[in-house]
Amino acid sequence: MDGDPCCPWVVRLNADGSLDGGFQNAVSGPWVSSLALQSDGKLLIGGGFTSVNSVLVSKVARLWGNQPAYIESVTRPSGGSATLTLRLPPGSTNRVQYKNDLNDAAWIDLPGDAIVSISDSLTNTVDATLGATQRRFYRVRQLP
C-alpha cells in the first residue's frame, strides 16, 4: 500500500466483517498511505496526517489496536500507603509493578494477585508497602 495516497482513514473489522466500534482511531490529515503490521500485533501507519486521536504526530504513528492498561491517578493519603486508580481493558489480566528509583534494574510486582478486569471501568488497588518511601514509580503491565 506504499505510494499514492489511498485511504483517509484506518478502521478495524471484526471477524464477521462488521466495523469494530471499539477501535478508536481518529487520523487527522489528508491520507494514510502506508501500513505495516508488526510481529506484536501493533500497526505502523505513515502518510500526510498530523495527529491520531488528538495526539500530535509527524506523519508516522504506532496504533495499539485497543487501549492499553494504564494508571489514571495515584493518591497518597496520610499513612504509609498509596491508592492507584487503574484503567484496564475488559477481559485483561494485569500486574502492577514499582521501582523506588528509575536506575533500579528490575520492576517489582506489587504484592497480591494479578488484577483481572471484567469490564471497562476504573479499578483501585492499594500499595501498602510504601511506608516512609518518599517517591515510587509505578506501571501496570498487561499479562498474556
Cross-strand pairs, 125: 84
Match domain 70-143 to its CATH number in 2.60.40, 2.30.30, 1.10.8, 2.40.10.
2.60.40
Which of the four pLDDT bands, split at 50, 70 and 90, describes residue 1?
very low
Model pTM score:
0.58
Instruction: Report, as an integer, the average pLDDT of 96-121.
Output: 87
Structure confidence at residue 77 (pLDDT): 79
**Residue 108: predicted pLDDT:** 93
Distances (CA, A) of 49 to 39, 41, 45, 109, 125: 24, 22, 10, 39, 38
Which residue, 39, 56, 42, 33, is CA-closest to 12?
42
Q: How far apart are CA 26 and CA 57, in angstroms?
A: 12
Q: Is pLDDT of 2 > 50?
A: no
Domain residue ranges in the chain: 1-66, 70-143
pLDDT of amino acid 65: 64
> Over pLDDT 70: what percentage of the chain?
88
What pLDDT score does 5 carry?
Answer: 47
pLDDT digits (tens, 9 = 90+) for 14-66: 778 887 776 666 777 778 888 888 877 778 888 888 888 777 888 888 887 66
